[in-house]
Amino acid sequence: MAAHAGGLKADAEDGPDMAAHAGGLMTDPAVRVEGLSRGFGARTVLDDLDLTIGQGEFVALLGRSGSGKSTLLRALAGLDRDVTGSGAVRVPRSLSVVFQDARLLPWQRVLTNVVLGLRGADAALRGRAALAEVGLEGREQAWPNELSGGEQQRVALARSLVSEPQLLLADEPFGALDALTRIRMHGLLRELCARHRPAVLLVTHDVDEAVTLADRVLVLDDGRIAIDQRIDRGQSATAHRESLLAALGVAA
Amino acid sequence: MSLLSPHRRRLGPGRPIPLGAALGPVLLLAIWSVASALGWLDPRTLSAPWTVVTTTGDLIADGRLQDNLAISSQRAGLGLLFGVAIGTVLALISGLSRWGEAILDGPIQIKRAIPSLALIPLLILWLGIGEGMKVTTITLGVFVPVYIHTHNGLRGIDSRYVELGESLRLRTGTFLRRIVLPGALPGFLLGLRFAVVNAWLALVVVEQINSTSGIGYMMELAREYGQTDIIVVGLVLYGVLGLLSDGAVRLVQRRALTWRRTLAD
């Protein structure tokens, strides 16, 4: 697919637009998914899936490759226009997506990339503040190509949080980074989420990442949520890790 | 036992030669000068370089060169202006809508296969032999490369950026301004490089047929009187104009595309 002016229409059926009336009380969950099914041709990827994510809750979604993690995330983001399926999805209107690639526009400077989705006179100011938060103060006028992979992903984080979203959807955002950078990014993400309190759905294939970051870890299998485990900080990370690995069919 | 040199054999073309671009033309000029000086070249075949220089001086002194250059530049400039505008608008229509592409792309590809020279008889019948016909011919030669490359640039924009725009709920205006137009700019500028050269090429064609002014007319007149020196002045002028305008676009290209860190350019 190429650039297409018609491509900006919102998904009317079960896209984020339904969400306008989901915002109400703080006690309402941020995300409510009921009976979600998605398929590509004859293959069913998501099969009558239910999911609820609370306000400010950090949920990690694990699963084997091809288990439909990204399909679920894209359904929540309203980016699955060409996929057949059914079900109800209620998400906040203000949501942001972080992709696996930083997806910065190479022809716009860093600050312009950050404020791309913002409107209003204070956009630049907010963009600068967001860049400072991810530790990239002073790089506003750099080109994305001049940044390292980790820095680019930090710009992407700034872009996704500058709009103060109620829901942050992250699709393996650190998958392409080296191990050291990834650890640093974990710290940053945790810090940012603690400050801005969005509900988070983090898709990952890294069990350690899920256990380190999330309040709750889900394992997707056969198109449904097979395991829904709350991470108890009192319990050792190793115990969580082993039970999750076992659920994924890997002997710990 | 011999020690291995740490340097590997170089496979690329190696370091650039300083002023390398000027070397070929200077060599050509040297051969031409020597051949003229030694009398190997009959002045009726090709005038000596210094004759060309003095002729240029004479032409400037009596104002013929400036007048003809002015009218030629005006024609090329107008044709370029219209051609670039038309090519860009058509590329946007065809690049942003499937209907636009279905309707426009075919005819333009057909036009691309027809040389401008072959259209001139028809254009003369429709528009006469005045300025309108000349500018139209140049416009027709200019809009095609602008269209082709801009359209290609638009179609080549990564769909991931379109998805990004959707996820950020960009308005159509912002989407066009921040993603589509800058994304298509490299293609547009490449098209522009072809376009400026095409403008001068089309000029040669229109000015040597039914014209009473311009550099092409000056050369055509010189042919009738057997003045090789004036013909060479015209040729050099065309070459210099083409090089200068291409250089200008390349300068713009370099300025506008600083975000691209490519090996060439």
Instruction: Name the residue among B132, B157, B94, B145 with its Cα closest to residue B210.
Output: B132
**B261: distance to nearest CA of chain A, Å?**
8
Strands A31-40 and A224-230: unpaired
Residue A19 · residue A91 · CB < 8 Å: yes
Is the CB of A101 less than 8 angstroms away from the CB of B166?
no
Buried b / exposed e across A21-43, counting CB within 10 Å, b at 16+? ebeeeeeeebbbbeebbbbeeee
pLDDT above 90: percentage of residues in chain A: 51
Q: What angle do CA A130, A135, A137 make, to 5 degrees?
A: 70
Give the A-side interface with B, CB within 8 Å.
Answer: 1-8, 10, 77-79, 96-97, 99, 101, 103, 105-108, 112, 116-117, 143-145, 159
d(CA A185, CA A170): 13
Tens of pLDDT, residues A28-52: 889 999 999 998 888 888 998 999 9
In tens, the pLDDT along A133-190 reads 999 999 999 999 999 999 999 999 999 999 999 999 999 999 888 888 899 999 999 9
Record: contact A77-B167, CB cut-off 8 A: yes
Which residues in A178-196 are b (16+ Cβ under 10 Å) and which e?
eeebbeebbebbeebbeeb
Task: Determine the distance in angstroms separating the CA of A78 from the nearest CA of chain B, rounded to an integer.
Answer: 8
How far is it, in rounded angstroms, from Cα B33 to Cα B30?
5
Q: For B114-148, b where at least 16 C-beta lie within 10 A, e where not — what string?
A: eebeebbeebbeeeeeeeebbbbbbbbbbbbbbbb
> How many contacts, defined by CB atoms under 8 Å, are there between A and B?
88
What ipTM was predicted for this assembly? 0.82
The sign of the dihedral angle between the CA atoms of B10, B12, B18, B23 is positive
Asked whether the beta carbons of residue A8 and residue B160 sit closer than 8 angstroms, the reply is no
The reply to whether residue A1 touches residue B162, judged by beta carbons under 8 angstroms, is yes
Q: What secondary structure letter does DSSP report for A136?
A: -
Token match 């050509």: residue?
Answer: B28
Average pLDDT over residues A128-133: 94
- Rounded CA-CA distance A86/A49 in Å is 10
Rounded average pLDDT over A59-63: 92
pLDDT band at residue B43 under the 50/70/90 scheme: confident
**Residue A42 vs residue A4, higher pLDDT:** A42
Residues A220, A68 contacting (CB under 8 angstroms): yes
Statement: residue A94 has pLDDT above 70: yes
Q: Are B217 and B237 in contact (CB under 8 A)?
A: no
Structure token digits, residue A58: 């950090």
Residue B44 reports pLDDT greater than 90: no
B233 vs A232: which has the higher pLDDT: B233
Least confident of A2-6, A99-103, A193-197, B125-129: A2-6
Smallest CA-to-CA distance from B183 within B197, B167, B164 is with B164
A101 contacts B160? CB cut-off 8 A: yes
Note whether B175 contacts A5, CB cutoff 8 Å: yes
Contact: A105, B154; criterion CB under 8 Å: no
Look at the block and give the residue holding tokens 């997506």. A97
Residue entry with tokens 């400039």: B77
| Cβ atoms < 10 Å from Cβ of A145 | 13
Q: Which of B164, B185, B188 is the best substitution to test chain A (most A C-beta atoms within 10 A)?
A: B164
**Please, what are the domains in chain B?**
70-199+237-254 (1.10.3720.10)
Range from B64-68, B114-118, B131-135 carrying the lowest mean pLDDT: B114-118
| Mean pLDDT confidence for A196-218 | 92
The share of chain B scoring above pLDDT 90, in percent, equals: 60
pLDDT at A156: 95
Q: Is B256 on the interface with A (CB under 8 A)?
A: no
B chain contacts of residue A6, beta-carbon cutoff 8 Å: 97
Mean pLDDT of chain A: 84
Contact B166 A105 (CB under 8 A): no
